């Protein structure tokens, strides 16, 4: 199958690599021409300098920072949608706004392009091993079945979540829970330190007790307490995902005070540290007197 892959950053690069290894004819595009050249050379595939070069793709996948960038790539000036043939399958694997996804999907449908949303969970390590969890949203069941062999090259757990936009909604809500858990864990760590508790002992106990979570076992234990801070996911991206979840809650007319507070906390971390810093470093922003890490 001819696959166009747009966005070959930390996540997109290994994901596109698995599709190449799966025997598909892949053309990659990224705003960073050096990344394109390096990826094409390493993986033995075609690199593109313009979006129009992806016009012969049967499937186009985006792995981009947010839905605004996805819309620009597809519908902006010189956007890809005008070059694609009717029947092309477009899959947005970015963490995008679910309402915006439905709007874009409707516009693309008018051009004969079928859209699915397929955001992922598992971060860079599982992108590298091809063991991501992939959420799949779409209104066309045949298109979903058509996409599954490609999804299976990148992930080992595929979940159909419902109609178009539902996967992006699920991704944002999952990341909201992770962000809330991190914020609570970080506050517990900071309070415990001030009282004189040892951080390692704290999380040894938490990880065999009712406070245990992915955050406590992996992020706090492996990245915060060690000072490693290299989860591969930035503060800015997590703040963005929590913002998407908060916007969704408001669109559903649900009073969600915890969600609003978590959005504020991550926005504060982003503004104090800078969007490009590792998300595990958020703990530094919430205690300006912090000296340990």
- Enter the tokens of residue 194: 């001030």
Catalytic-role residue among 35, 171, 221, 284 = 171
* Catalytic-residue membership of 171: yes
Q: Is 24 in contact with 46 (CB distance < 8 Å)?
A: no
**CB proximity list for 246: less than 8 A, separation 6 or greater:** 176, 256, 259, 260, 263
Q: Residues 237, 243, 249, 251: is their CA dihedral positive or negative? A: negative
The Cα 98–Cα 104 span in angstroms is 10
Q: Which contiguous run of DSSP H or E holds residue 212?
A: none
Give me the torsion for CA of 51, 98, 170, 212, rounded to 10°.
Answer: 90
SS3 99: helix
Which residues are known catalytic residues?
171
């Amino acid at each position: 199958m001819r696959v166009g892959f747009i966005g070959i950053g930390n996540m997109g690069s290994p994901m596109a690599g698995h599709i190449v290894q799966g025997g598909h004819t892949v053309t990659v595009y990224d705003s960073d021409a050096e990344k394109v050249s390096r990826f094409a050379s390493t993986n033995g595939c075609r690199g593109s300098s313009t979006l129009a070069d992806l016009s012969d793709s049967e499937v186009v996948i985006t792995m981009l920072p947010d839905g605004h960038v996805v819309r620009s790539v597809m519908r902006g000036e010189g956007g890809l949608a005008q070059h694609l043939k009717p029947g092309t399958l477009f899959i947005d694997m970015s963490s995008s706004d679910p309402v915006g996804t439905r709007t874009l999907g409707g516009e693309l449908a008018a051009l004969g392009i079928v859209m699915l949303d397929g955001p992922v969970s598992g971060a860079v390590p599982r992108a590298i091993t091809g063991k991501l969890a992939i959420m799949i949203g779409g209104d066309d069941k045949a298109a979903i079945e058509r996409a599954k062999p490609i999804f299976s090259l990148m992930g080992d757990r595929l979940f159909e979540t419902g109609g178009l936009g539902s996967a992006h909604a699920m991704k944002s809500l999952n990341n909201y829970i992770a962000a809330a858990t991190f914020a609570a864990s970080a506050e517990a760590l900071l309070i415990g330190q001030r009282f004189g508790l040892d951080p390692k002992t704290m999380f040894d106990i938490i990880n065999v007790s009712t406070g245990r979570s992915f955050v406590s076992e992996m992020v706090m234990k492996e990245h915060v307490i060690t000072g490693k801070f290299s989860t591969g996911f930035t503060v800015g991206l997590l703040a963005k995902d929590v913002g998407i979840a908060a916007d969704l809650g408001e669109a559903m007319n649900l009073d969600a005070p915890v969600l609003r507070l978590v959005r504020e906390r991550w926005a504060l971390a982003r503004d104090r540290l800078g969007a490009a810093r590792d998300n595990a470093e958020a703990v530094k922003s919430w205690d300006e007197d912090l000296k340990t890490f």
